[in-house]
Amino acid sequence: MAEVSQGGGGGGHKKGGKVRAKKASTKIDMTPMVDLAFLLLTFFMLTTTFNKPQTMEITMPEKPKPEDKLPEVNEKKVVTLVLGDNDKIYWYHGITDPKIEVTDFSANGIRKVLMTQSSQIPGMILLIKPSEESRYKNMVDILDEMNITNMQRYALVPITPTDKELIKESNL
């Protein structure tokens, strides 16, 4: 492992020369330490557990057949969320003659709206309509809110021209 060399270091033994003490040089063999480092590195790489990606399970319905009758929904149980620009959410209750309100993605925003509406409307169905101006982050955030508030019945549907007109008319 370690070795002390006894050779050399002094001058020749000629007449009249100074007598010098022999210098002992040390040499440390680092091979066992390198082996130990690689063994530890291999051990920790094989025994560690990597973070598993966190995903949210979304159950997608089967595509209906042409002969299937689509279920009818009571309009009093429908709440529509339109994802707009600048992190705004336009929402309204019902389908005919809606009163549009605006909120945001904060805890006192959409989360409060969802909790209030779900307590007032048993069996509520949410229609989520992302607009062209909304960002992908808004879609992820609204799906997170569905998970946080434990909403079971929601659907992602395309925005309609009627919804666009309602938002323009509301000026919110």
The ranges assigned to domains in the chain are 75-170
Q: Which residues are 111's β-sheet partners? A: none
Q: What is the pLDDT of residue 36?
A: 94
- Its pTM stands at 0.62
pLDDT tens series, the chain, 172 aa: 556 565 555 555 556 667 777 777 788 888 889 999 999 999 999 998 888 887 777 777 778 788 888 777 788 888 999 998 888 899 998 887 788 889 988 888 999 999 998 899 888 889 999 999 889 999 989 988 888 888 888 888 889 898 888 888 877 6
Gap between the Cα atoms of 76 and 124, Å rounded: 8
Fold of 75-170: Nucleotidyltransferase; domain 5 (3.30.420)
Sheet holding 101-103, edge to edge: 101-103, 89-93, 78-83, 125-130, 154-156
Q: Which residues pair with 117 in a beta bridge?
A: none
The distance from CA 172 to its chain's CA centroid, rounded to whole angstroms, is 30
